[in-house]
Amino acid sequence: MSKLAILFPGQGAQYVGMGLDFPNHKDVLNHVKVLTNLDIEAVITTGENLNETRFTQLSVLTASRLAFDALLSLKPKFEGMTGFSLGEYSGLYASNVLSFDKAIKLVYQRALAMHEATLETKGFMAAVLGLDAQTIENGLKQVQSGVVVCANYNSPVQTVISGELTAFSETEMTLKNLGAKRVIQLAVSGAFHSPLMKQAALKFEQALSEVDLASPSYPLYLNTTAQVANINTLKSEMVKQIYQSVRFQQTIEQMIKDGFTHFLEIGPGQVLGPLVKKINPNVESFSFGKYVELDNLKGWLTIHGFIQ
């Protein structure tokens, strides 16, 4: 029996103009401006500051919300969801754990805390290609010049590492000696999903303590556990998510074990759908992030039996 899951992208999926073709984008972006006093529409339109964490996170969340609203207009039948890093907040909104206002305010605080942490610590992130995660983990234990950890488990052949900039050269040499094809330093401002973000997590924990969470309306699989969220422990997992690994591969594998056969990426970029196919080529995936693609999305949902 077919079973559909929604995927929400994270930081790195952003691009200039994302979400601006959706009919309701003006109202939503104006509302975000009222909540944060930031002109996200100008950021998305011009691209200026779009790659700066405090603007990126709000922009991606808003673009994902616009795409999700369009999806709901088709009355689709989906039974679970997950998000990649920041994308988990789109999932918290889509599963009704957070209202959009609460999601925006929390992501704003999360982004500010992470931005401040990048100014206080010098970190890096890098994609490691052609080496399995266990070998990478073993290699990182050998690194002496700084803390480096696996930040994102993306697929069987791609893992992202994160850590202190002082350790990059030694890490690159160590992993290449173990057989890595490439170690590609990413254009990000800090070592996200690593111990260098613990201070940011503590700041965010204070903001989170003032917010009430509702029980999810749909199963929401978490980055930290690769399991369905439990409302009783959700806040602590949201705090940990800032400095712990994103277990995307493990999450998709668990969702497939739980019967999910089709994965629909909602929001900017086309990153997660292809990753799903690398994790398991036997499942179906589709990516939707532009209003012009709505008819194609409707066709895909209809063909696979996901229109109610």
DSSP H stretches of helix in the chain: 25-36, 40-46, 53-72, 87-94, 100-120, 133-140, 168-177, 198-208, 234-240, 248-257, 272-279, 294-303
Catalytic residue among 25, 115, 193, 262: 193
Residue 193 annotated as catalytic: yes
φ/ψ region of 226 (left if φ > 0, alpha if ψ in -120 to 50, else beta) reads left
Catalytic residue among 59, 64, 85, 285: 85
* Partners of 6 in beta bridges: 81, 264
Q: Specify the amino acid at residue 11.
A: Q
Contacts of 250 (CB under 8 A, 6+ apart): 153, 226
- Tokens representing 31 are 């509302």
Burial of 297 per CB tally in 10 Å (0-12, 13-18, 19+) = buried
- Tokens representing 20 are 């601006």
Annotated active-site positions, please?
A: 85, 193
